[in-house]
Amino acid sequence: MYSTSSSNRTLILLLKPLRSTGIGLHIAEQLAIHGAKVYLACRSEAKTLEAIDEIEKRNPPLKASGRLVWQSLDLSSICACKRAAEEIASKEQHLHILSEVSDA
């Protein structure tokens, strides 16, 4: 049974393409609001940081929480995927959810 509390959970959302109006960002926002740490795994750092900034403007308590994190990920390269997985594994003890969201 899945708990409705996201507190102390680590999640990765693979967003492709990243759109500020897409469902992926709304999912990330709600999970972060409810206490989850969410890695937004995308190719474009600039677009992702802009999207995170928009979410944090709507939800000021998230600004300093560190719950929304950009993670470089290029799905066209197996080496890049492995590197991203290793980076996250070095930072987190557990991964609770891995989800791919395509906003196309």
Closest CA to 72 of 90, 49, 93: 49
Statement: the pTM of the whole predicted model exceeds 0.85: no
Closest CA to 37 of 104, 103, 95: 95
With respect to residue 91, please indicate whether it lies within any of the assigned structural domains. yes
CATH number of 27's domain: 3.40.50.720
- Beta bridge pairs of residue 2: none
With respect to residue 1, please indicate whether it lies within any of the assigned structural domains. no
pLDDT at residue 21, rounded to an integer: 63
Domains held by the chain: number = 1
With respect to residue 5, please indicate whether it lies within any of the assigned structural domains. no
* Whether residue 3 has pLDDT greater than 60: no
- H or E stretch including 29? helix 23-33
Distance, CA of 20 to CA of 4 (rounded, Å): 25
Structural domain that includes position 93? 10-101
- Model confidence pLDDT, tens digit, residues 36-69: 899 888 888 998 899 999 999 999 999 999 999 9
Distance, CA of 10 to CA of 32 (rounded, Å): 10
30: phi then psi, degrees, rounded to nearest 5: -65, -40
Q: Average pLDDT in the 71-83 region?
A: 90
* Whether residue 73 has pLDDT greater than 90: no
User: Residue for token digits 């990765």?
Assistant: 12
